[in-house]
Structure 1
């Protein structure tokens, strides 16, 4: 199944006139589940008297379309983010603290909606203005701008290479940039339903928003 999906997407984006937007549409249509490693670099803009600062983390990302995903941050600090279809959970291991909020309120104009939550391109276009961006780094790019006023995000760029999700670049309303680079991407893998179920650990402080 993975080989079929990858072939279909690669052939689609390689066709005459195809763009990153075509790649995004094929990705949403064809890749229903996935597992991939990621490295995230967050760059905090320079302030007066201070240089720009960066923070690097890494982990594993899994999703099952539509609406379920799991980020497991392993380094430098352990953190888990799970969307189970109803609730978005965030578990900070060091603080032993869980935050939960209704998923429908939390995900509309987020990067997760772009790559994991939406069932089709039409659903994405309800929340984002989408356009093909210039190819660079050997990738086909899509630029997504949230339609919601006062969004926490300015822009999101998604990069595809040979039909696979390669890069996600996010700029928030404060100018902070997060770049996630994906590796060992596996499309349409079998994922256990339990991967997207979350139960607060015993003794954890639970904050419901």
Structure 2
């Protein structure tokens, strides 16, 4: 696979990646944990934050650092802008997901099917009840943080374990591991929850002269 293909195939997961956490304290039973997570997520209508992302390999080697800003609005809308190390934009309008690479002058379009919607950030934009119905959820509390760890009940997902970390009612981290052992940690700062977000952020117009690739899983 070429470097360009690697960047393109990994970028959709970048639209909301994160890695699994090892458990350091007793866990709340899955049913209770799912209820607690639902109570945290159901009031979340919009979410805006800056992010820093670090990807590490199965051996712990650092593969990539990135930073940018994201906006999320339920149901199903997301805008994820990577500013560095290169520019990239991911937009979901609730029906399709657009991955735009300005340097390559290329946009990849995928329908919002089940597999795409199971990327971590898009999970947040969906129904909390659907989320807890499709994942086994575990909860631990340590040092003032609540960590909810999700294990997919289906094999048709982009990750094997996902953790959401909250400080109080605010989501501050997403942590994910995939089947290769690659780990992604995303830290959010400057968070605004349930603030007003311009609906136009989730409308993507394909720039003139851009190559369009339509993909399906």
TM-score bracket for this pair, using the shorter chain length: 0.7 to 0.9
How has the CA–CA distance of structure 1 residues 65 and 25 changed in structure 2, closer, same or farther, with 3 Å as cutoff? same
Q: Partner of 1:30 in structure 2?
A: 43
The two structures have a TM-score, normalised by structure 2, of 0.78
Equivalent residues of 1:20, 1:160 under 8 A apart: no
Alignment of 1:1-209 (within 5 A): 21=34, 24-46=37-59, 52-116=61-125, 118-119=126-127, 121-132=128-139, 134-136=140-142, 138-209=144-215
CA distance in 2, matches of 1:94, 1:170: 27
Question: TM-score normalized by structure 1?
Answer: 0.81
What is the CA-CA distance between 1:21 and the residue it aligns to?
5.0
Q: For the Cα contact (< 8 Å) 1:60–1:71, is it kept in 2?
A: yes
Structure 2 residue matching 1:107: 3-state secondary structure: helix
User: Alpha carbons of 1:21 and 1:128: their partners in 2 closer, same or farther (altered >3 Å)?
Assistant: closer
Question: How many residues are aligned here?
Answer: 185
Q: Kindly state the Cα deviation for residue 22 of structure 1 after the two structures are TM-superposed.
A: 5.4
Q: In the TM superposition, what is the alpha-carbon distance from 1:191 to its structure 2 partner?
A: 1.1
In structure 2, the gaps of 5 or more residues are 1-27
Q: Is the 8 A contact 1:88 1:106 kept in 2?
A: no
For 2:101 and 2:209, the matched residues in 1 are separated by: 13
Contact 1:43–1:177, Cα closer than 8 Å, also in 2: yes
| Contact 2:138–2:148, Cα closer than 8 Å, also in 1 | yes
Tell me how large the CA RMSD over aligned residues is: 2.0
Q: 1:135-162: CA deviations, max 9, x gaps?
A: 2453100010112225331100000002
Q: Distance in 1 between matches of 2:175 and 2:208?
A: 35
Separation of aligned partners in 1, 2:97 and 2:115 = 7
CA contact (8 A) 2:152 2:160 kept: yes
Shift of 1:168: 0.3
**Can you give the 5+ residue segments of structure 1 that lack an aligned partner in the other structure?**
1-16
